[in-house]
């Protein structure tokens, strides 16, 4: 790799890291534990549980994640009569957008879920 491409790559890498730390420092406080100094593990698609039964309290069977800087519970809903879809239930109940769901998703790499048809990407890390 020539020096110019190397410096461009370093700039992009620094910019992505800077954006990540802005999200983390702005949004993540878990109880008394400050998550800013915690190493976060990227979520892999195979780690997300697939739920087929939806009784009261089923969401407790999901995994705890940080999705784009917000605490949430995540699982894949797979009822027999419809397509599978990923479900993210955010913890902040005061937010009118406290749930996210789509059947158009793909994990191209750990911690980065592409979704929709416009190239959107959601960053997702394990919370616990």
**Do 27 and 76 share a domain, yes or no?**
no
- Find the domain containing 114 and state its range: 40-128
Q: Structure pTM?
A: 0.66
Same domain, 31 and 55: no
**Dihedral in degrees, nearest 10, Cα atoms 31, 85, 45, 11:** -80
- pLDDT of 57-111, one tens digit each? 666 788 999 999 889 999 998 877 778 899 998 887 666 668 889 999 999 999 9
Distant-in-sequence, close-in-space partners of 56: CB < 8 Å, separation ≥ 6: none
pLDDT digits (tens, 9 = 90+) for 1-42: 456 555 555 555 555 555 555 554 444 444 434 555 567 899
- The answer on 98 and 78 residing in a single domain is yes
Total structural domains in the chain? 2
For residues 10 and 56, state if they share a domain: no
Q: Are residues 103 and 80 in the same domain?
A: yes
């Amino acid at each position: 790799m020539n020096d110019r491409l190397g410096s461009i790559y370093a700039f992009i890498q620094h910019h992505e890291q800077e954006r990540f730390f802005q999200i983390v420092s702005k949004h993540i406080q878990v109880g008394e534990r400050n998550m800013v100094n915690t190493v976060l593990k990227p979520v892999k698609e195979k780690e997300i549980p697939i739920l087929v039964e939806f009784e009261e309290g089923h969401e407790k069977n999901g995994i705890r994640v940080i999705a784009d800087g917000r605490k949430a519970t995540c699982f894949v809903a797979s009822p027999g009569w419809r397509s599978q879809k990923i479900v993210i239930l955010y913890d902040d109940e005061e937010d009118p957008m406290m749930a996210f769901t789509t059947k158009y998703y793909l994990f191209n790499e750990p911690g980065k879920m592409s979704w929709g048809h416009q190239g959107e990407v959601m960053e997702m890390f394990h919370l616990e």
